[in-house]
Amino acid sequence: MVGRESGQVRLRVVMDTKTTTLEKHVHQFTLSDCHVYTDEYDSYNGIERERSTVAHGIKEWARDDDDGSRECHTNTAEGMLTGLRNFLRPFRGMHKKYLSGYVAVHECRVNLKHDENHTSKLLAPVSKIRKQEMEAV
């Protein structure tokens, strides 16, 4: 899931894409009054949120709902998953029991990208070590 306004993502590795699995994920990580954008996959039908869909089956990739503000598409989530795939590519076939850890690292990278304060705090120790290394030379 990707927050349209916040840019924050919530990624989880799941064993299946059944209705109960997807419902649990969406309900856990979204507010009850949020608007969810999905494709027409049947497992999303039980989500108890306001929902707009695009029908990839008939080659519909985006749609304007004529409400003046909401365009329905899943491009943001699909683009984020492309970023995940690119992040995983150099590891060339990790064991599936470690996949959730790699996915968590990518989630953290994406979420930190949108919060400059956390990024600088995270990198501060690295900068300090680098500075010490440079002074030692």
CA–CA gap between residue 78 and residue 80 (Å, rounded)? 5
Helices (H) and strands (E) in the chain, counts: 4, 4
pLDDT tens-digit series, residues 28-60: 888 888 888 888 888 888 888 888 888 888 887
pTM of full prediction above 0.85: no
- pLDDT exceeds 60 at position 137: no
Contacts 24+ apart (CB under 8 A), 102-107: 103/11, 103/12, 103/13, 104/11, 106/11, 107/9, 107/10, 107/11
Higher pLDDT, 97 or 64: 97
The pLDDT of residue 18: 93
- The confidence band for 91, taking pLDDT boundaries of 50, 70 and 90, is confident
Task: Look at residues 105, 72, 76, 71 and name the one whose alpha carbon lies nearest to residue 88.
Answer: 105
The pLDDT of residue 65: 65
CA–CA gap between residue 39 and residue 60 (Å, rounded)? 9
- pLDDT exceeds 80 at position 133: no
Mean residue pLDDT across the chain:
80
Percent of the chain topping pLDDT 70: 79
